[in-house]
Amino acid sequence: MIVNEVTNINLLGLSLTLLMGILMILVPRRYAPIPLLIVTCYITIGQRVVVAGLDFTMFRILILFGWARLVLRSEIYALKLNAIDKALIWWIITSIVTYTILWGTFRAFINRMGLAYDVIGIYFLLRFIIRDFEDVIRIIKSLGFIIVPLALAALLENATTRNIFAIFGGVPEFSRLRDGNVRCVISFGDAILAGTFAATSMPLFVGLLSEKGFAKKLAIFGFVASTIITVLSNSSGPVVSYLFGIIGFALWPFRRKMRLVRWGILAGVLSLHIIMKAPVWALIGRLSDLIGGTGYHRFELIDAFIRHFGEWWLIGTKYTAHWGPVVLVYEPNMVDITSQYILMGIEGGLLRMFLFIAVIVHSFRAIGRTIRATEGQSLSARICLWSLGAALLGHSISFISVSYFTQIVVFWYMLLAMISTCEGIFNNGNGLFKKTNFSTQPLYKNV
């Protein structure tokens, strides 16, 4: 979806943004992420302020308030960079350099600086704000409360085909249909992104189900709401991500043998590739025949991406129109890139794609190290930690079928920040945190 690069903000959007921005500065640190979650979920990217070509959506404005808080309240500390931090930084640098060289324009440089603003602004803001595991739990509980009205809005959109978030712009007023079913968009600009947001949030709520009291109720509400939004998006990608989130929990009994599991999966995929008449990624198209969607286009895209390796591997490419039939109306030189992994290569070459994958790999490793470091501690807390890995698996699978834009990037970088922080807490890998004495202290207090 393309949004006009002009200032568009109404009184409701401005008032809510300013209120949340002020709260983000004034509330205690442990509640500081909540205003960002509210603005991200309830205000579309149609609300924006454009100054000298610089595009500030409402969540980007909240990022400014967040960093103002860090400065005003002296909450910036010296971080001991871990593997996730370093991979992200190198990915940002590579993204800026390759894309600017590829297009050779100042506009391209500004575009990549916007990406850097989002990554550094969200990820490192939350790295400073999130200090302990209780903060991680509090974010998940808050999301469980915030997602419920979104599910109600999706139900209303499904019943009426009208999107109440259209008052902000950036989303269609009338929902599109697929095989007679409404594809609910809510505030996310695209049905598949709305469904992906819900599908990748679901594991976090499952991780809280072992809690007691109000926390368990929030977990149930969040689980039901995320399931509703996933289903009502009527998109196959989110359904697959949702299923892989469940698979992630099913792997819990094998947590001590994940290296063997990973090698087994790789061996299975290679075996399929050898015995199948078509390449193994053709299964994506076969899957869409069963659950619907445009999987065949994604199969063709992956196939073209591999066949045209020589065109993009160095710094990306500006022309992919010959790769397939689905050419973008607003950019006739490019096909519709419906894969985050492929987008990484097209916009920055093999190195940029490798670094993006490295961020994911280091994040999975961080979850594994954290689970091992908390062996013998509270089962419910360890399940919550594992849920971060299940959510990461959901995102990793969704990247095959969708490229992220709009405000869903906030939840992606937020997840990475929570994983990175947990590794620092429980593995003493971050200078911000003292090593926890697990023999005398619970993993986290009931909140």
Task: State the DSSP string of 191-216.
Answer: HHHHHHHHHHHHHHHHTTTT--THHH
Give, as one character, the DSSP assignment of residue 436: P
pLDDT of residue 278: 83
Q: Which amino acid is at 357?
A: I
Q: Is residue 230, in this structure, part of any structural domain at all? A: yes
Residue carrying structure tokens 């078509």: 278
pLDDT of residue 442: 42
Q: CA geometry: angle at 199 spanning 194 and 202, to 5°?
A: 125
Tokens standing for 320?
Answer: 């992919």
Tell me the Ramachandran region of residue 54: left when phi exceeds 0, alpha when psi lies from -120 to 50, beta otherwise.
beta
Question: What's the predicted TM-score (pTM) here?
Answer: 0.93
Q: Is residue 152, in this structure, part of any structural domain at all? A: yes
Nearest-angstrom CA–CA distance, 13 and 102: 36
pLDDT of residue 291: 64
State which residues of the chain have pLDDT below 70: 1-5, 287-294, 325-327, 329-330, 428-447
Nearest-angstrom CA–CA distance, 145 and 205: 11
pLDDT tens-digit map of 316-370: 999 998 987 666 756 788 888 989 999 999 999 999 999 999 999 999 999 999 9
| Residue (of 283, 205, 198) closest to 239 by Cα position | 198
pLDDT of residue 435: 39
Nearest-angstrom CA–CA distance, 362 and 350: 18
pLDDT of residue 290: 64
pLDDT of residue 429: 42
pLDDT tens-digit map of 231-279: 999 998 999 999 999 999 999 999 989 889 888 988 998 898 889 888 8
Q: Is residue 251, in this structure, part of any structural domain at all? A: yes
Structurally, how many domains does the chain consist of? 1
Nearest-angstrom CA–CA distance, 24 and 35: 6
Structural domain for 105, as ranges: 11-265+334-427
Tokens standing for 189?
Answer: 């600009």
Q: Is residue 326, in this structure, part of any structural domain at all? A: no
pLDDT of residue 292: 63
Q: Is residue 318, in this structure, part of any structural domain at all? A: no
In contact, 352 and 95? CB cutoff 8 Å: yes
Nearest-angstrom CA–CA distance, 327 and 335: 4
Q: Is residue 301, in this structure, part of any structural domain at all? A: no
pLDDT of residue 428: 62
Q: Is residue 106, in this structure, part of any structural domain at all? A: yes
Q: Is residue 274, in this structure, part of any structural domain at all? A: no
Q: Which amino acid is at 256?
A: R
pLDDT of residue 339: 94
